[in-house]
Amino acid sequence: MSNNQKKRNFQIEAFKPKEVVDPKYAEKTWKILENAIHEIYNHIAGGLNLEELYHNAGGLNFEELYRNAYNMVLHKFGEKLYSGLVSTMTLHLKEISKSIEAAQGGLFLEELNRKWTDHNKALQMIRDILMYMDRTFIPSNHKTPVHELGLNLWRDNIIHSSKIQMRLLNTLLELILIERTGEVINRGLMRNIIKMLMDLGPSVYQEDFEKPFLEVSADFYRVESQKFIESCDCGDYLKKAERRLNEEIERVSHYLDAKSEAKITNVVEKEMIANHMLRLVHMENSGLVNMLLDDKYEDLGRMYNLFRRVPNGLSTIRDVMTSHIRDTGKQLVTDPERLKDPVEFVQCLLDEKDKYDKIISLAFNNDKTFQNALNSSFEFFINLNSRSPEFISLFVDDKLRKGLKGVSEEDVEIVLDKVMMLFRYLQEKDVFEKYYKQHLAKRLLSGKTVSDDAERSLIVKLKTECGYQFTSKLEGMFTDMKTSQDTMQGFYTSHGAELGDGPTLAVQVLTTGSWPTQPSVTCNLPAEMSALCEKFRSYYLGTHTGRRLSWQTNMGTADLKATFGKGQKHELNVSTYQMCVLMLFNNAERLSYKEIEQATEIPSPDLKRCLQSLACVKGKNVLRKEPMSKDIGEDDVFLVNDKFTSKFYKVKIGTVVAQKESEPEKQETRQRVEEDRKPQIEAAIVRIMKSRRVLDHNNIIAEVTKQLQSRFLANPGEIKKRIESLIERDFLERDNADRRLYRYLA
Amino acid sequence: MKKEDTVKLISAEGFEFVIDKKAAMVSQTIRNMLTSPGSFAETEHGEVTFPEISTTILEKICQYFYWSLQYASGKETEFHIEPELTLELMMAANYLHT
């Protein structure tokens, strides 16, 4: 049969049913159908089922109704059938509307919901009966299909009826308000009514409910947020805002259109957060700064999650955090109290960094932009203090000398990684290198370094950070240490026999340039020692031709065996200078400052320092001084302290170490750094000009600065001076036409 | 066969055809009659009277229902229709929305 369907229309027209002869046919048939529609409505309203009706009133026979409708359409009475349907249904809906209007108070929504369910049922039955019309007449005449027609009529006669429209809206909004104040409402009923509005089409839902709902909500939250902000602290306010937000989301999921979620949350976000953002952040005693100070991870996390919902929310938090970190950091690095102890100072920085790292990871979702803000803040304030590089190096020195004793390897790595992180913030990395070299040299030469592995690991880290050039000299220092060991072994195997019981010597041969050596005035070594040194010199020069060996007496150490007045024996661990001084007392009871200076030729500041540590430090005062005072004067006289006692056999007499550099030393280091920068700047200029040939002044400055950034921040004035110097030496020339242009001369 | 799974189709002359509901529902019209929420008489009693369809045609229709159920999924078989029945059968098909 299906293969014949295509021709159906033609077949039907060819067929003339017999009923068509009755002129009242249409009227009669419509009456039957109209009746049926009435009955359907009445029935459903009466709560009866159709079977009862069937028994009571002759019943509704689907086939009969269908056949009648079918025949009406077939006999070209489709229009009559359709308009009849519209007017009959309208009639019923007007009735229904009245009954809904009559419902009192709380029953209103219930009645509306019940009638809606009824109407839907009736509508479906009517559609089933009129299916043939729906299938043929309606599409070809461009009418609204039965089901949609039923919904439209419902909308026009019920929802948009003057007595229902506003009442419905107000009832719904009222219920939501009640729910917002914390009472329970019938959510099932709400869901049904809202569902009805959505079934009637998105425009009905939006116009008749959603729009006013959003407006009322905005008013509600505007008032509420004002109340909260006057009475709550920041943390509580955010808690309340968060709860409101979640309530609205929950409301949407229970009985609103899912598409409303974004809109209503937007309203809450705007009214409760965006409008009060600055006030919240800066709230006294409880705002963002206080949260940061007190590590309130939960509150901070809440703030982050709420603020990220609104435009500029996160940048507001970030800006406040940045300026707070900068301020506290600035205080930290400029506080003269802090500057007294470099180790403490760096530890403070690390603690600060840890604190914010933790906040960002716990509360700020590890947000990259926050991490960047943190980094730039640290970079900002660390470089405010020109001594930061020195202090960081001192911190490492402290850790590598003693701090890492008994600490596991992983922990060492963690500390070193943290230091590297601070190092990265430094703009003047070359200053750090200078100090690091000095400190490393001291560590190596005095054998104070705790862990070779840790030392090397740090150098590897520096190398990955700044490249080979940065660490080549540092590595050279390690190599020298190793070679010296071998040399000493060689020296003692060849000379061991002839040296006998005399003093032993350990020499570290340092490559000039790799080490931060100062051209030092050699002091006069005791006779025993200088003889030994001479032997070593001839041994060394014998094996290595063409080298020069000079003694750095200011950097060595010595172990002395000493017997005091009552026969108590001690081993004294002293510096080379101190040894020279003490050895003098083998041949003399008392010596004046002048005599000592003459005999040893130690530079005066060093001598003073070394005498101070020999005579003035309690518990280690192997010498006695006349007059007794804290400082060394030119006229002082020194004697061996026969009453010297110590619990320990070995006594270590440190020079009064200049942990931090004194002001003139600092200036000196600074000057050396500046000197070292000159060739680097020149090299950078030449490199750039070689590839660019011609470049104007501003661009050179920019490029040079960029190239040197990883080591230090080049001063434009200095760059200009270097350019002048290169011009003088015929590496560059100024362009004849444009004086701002430079040309490379090769 | 359970009574709930069958439906009785009655022709103009009063002949009764008892067939599977599943087969009868090949017709969209019969499907609506049997499933409409309002529970019409047809739904309650499980029988449908067609005063305008003759026995011969209704028989042919029932045959078609079963044929359709079996072969509608595209198997190449012919459903034989006697030429003299064509017109009336066509009418009924339109009516039954088959």
pLDDT more than 70, % of chain A: 92
pLDDT more than 90, % of chain A: 26
Do the beta carbons of residue A430 and residue A382 sit within 8 Å?
Answer: no
Please tell me which residue of chain A has the smallest CA distance to B97. Answer: A132
Distance from CA of A50 to the nearest CA of B (A): 6
Q: What is the pLDDT of residue A707?
A: 85
What would the pLDDT profile of A340-374 be if each residue is shown by its tens digit?
A: 888 888 888 999 999 999 999 999 999 999 999 99
What would the pLDDT profile of A167-192 be if each residue is shown by its tens digit?
A: 999 999 999 999 999 899 999 999 99
Res A533 pLDDT > 90:
no
DSSP string, A353-415: HHHHHHHHHHTSTT-HHHHHHHHHHHHHHHTTSTTHHHHHHHHHHHIIIIITTT--HHHHHHH
Mean pLDDT over B2-30 rounds to 87
Q: B5 pLDDT band (50/70/90 cuts)?
A: confident
The CATH architecture that domain A18-159 belongs to is Up-down Bundle (1.20)
What would the pLDDT profile of A137-162 be if each residue is shown by its tens digit?
A: 999 899 999 999 999 999 999 999 88
A124·B36 Cβ contact <8 A: yes
Helix (H, G, I), strand (E, B) or coil at A639: strand
Mean pLDDT over A460-479 rounds to 85
Cis preceding linkage at A503, omega within 30: no
Q: How many domains does chain B divide into?
A: 1
Residue A591: Cβ within 10 Å count: 21
Q: Per residue in A478-491, is it b (16+ CB within 10 Å) or e — as a string?
A: bebbeebeebbeeb
Q: A527 pLDDT band (50/70/90 cuts)?
A: confident
Residue B67: Cβ within 10 Å count: 17
Q: Which range scores top for mean pLDDT: A106-115, A460-469, B89-98?
A: A106-115
Question: Is A38 within 8 Å of chain B by CB?
Answer: no
Res A519 pLDDT > 70:
no
Residues of A with Cβ-Cβ distance to B79 under 8 angstroms: 1
Q: What is the pLDDT of residue B2?
A: 67
Same CATH fold assignment for domains A18-159 and A177-272:
yes
> What is the homologous superfamily of the domain A177-272 according to CATH?
Cullin Repeats (1.20.1310.10)
Please tell me which residue of chain A has the smallest CA distance to B31. Answer: A128
Residues of B with Cβ-Cβ distance to A66 under 8 angstroms: 29, 32-33
Res A250 pLDDT > 50:
yes
Question: Would you tell me which CATH number, out of the four given (1.10.3720.10, 1.10.10.10, 3.40.50.620, 3.30.530.50), belongs to the domain A669-744?
Answer: 1.10.10.10
Q: B73 pLDDT band (50/70/90 cuts)?
A: low
Q: Are strands B6-10 and B47-49 parallel, antiparallel or unpaired?
A: parallel
Q: What is the pLDDT of residue A210?
A: 93
Q: A59 pLDDT band (50/70/90 cuts)?
A: low
CA gap A717, A701 in Å, rounded: 9
Residue A208: Cβ within 10 Å count: 20
Alpha carbon A12 to its chain's center:
78
Mean pLDDT over B3-25 rounds to 87
CA gap A696, A739 in Å, rounded: 9
Domain boundaries, chain A: 18-159, 177-272, 481-553, 556-652, 669-744
Alpha carbon A508 to its chain's center:
47
Q: What is the pLDDT of residue A556?
A: 77
B29·A15 Cβ contact <8 A: no
Position of tokens 């190096």? A393
ipTM for the predicted complex comes to 0.88
Residue A61: Cβ within 10 Å count: 18
CA gap A344, A353 in Å, rounded: 14
Question: Is A117 within 8 Å of chain B by CB?
Answer: no
Q: What is the CATH code of the structural domain delimited by A556-652?
A: 3.30.230.130
Question: Is A16 within 8 Å of chain B by CB?
Answer: no
Sign of the four-CA dihedral A129, A131, A136, A140? positive
Do the beta carbons of residue A642 and residue A564 sit within 8 Å?
Answer: yes
Mean pLDDT over A35-51 rounds to 72
Mean pLDDT over A266-291 rounds to 90
Domain that holds residue B24: 3-96
CATH number at residue B78: 3.30.710.10
Question: Is A281 within 8 Å of chain B by CB?
Answer: no
Residue A694: Cβ within 10 Å count: 12
Do the beta carbons of residue A217 and residue A268 sit within 8 Å?
Answer: yes
Q: What is the pLDDT of residue A93?
A: 92
CA gap A417, A526 in Å, rounded: 46
CA gap A239, A236 in Å, rounded: 5
Helix (H, G, I), strand (E, B) or coil at A21: helix
User: Residue A708 contacts by C-beta under 8 Å, 6 or more apart in sequence?
Assistant: A680, A681, A684, A714
Do the beta carbons of residue A619 and residue A654 sit within 8 Å?
Answer: no
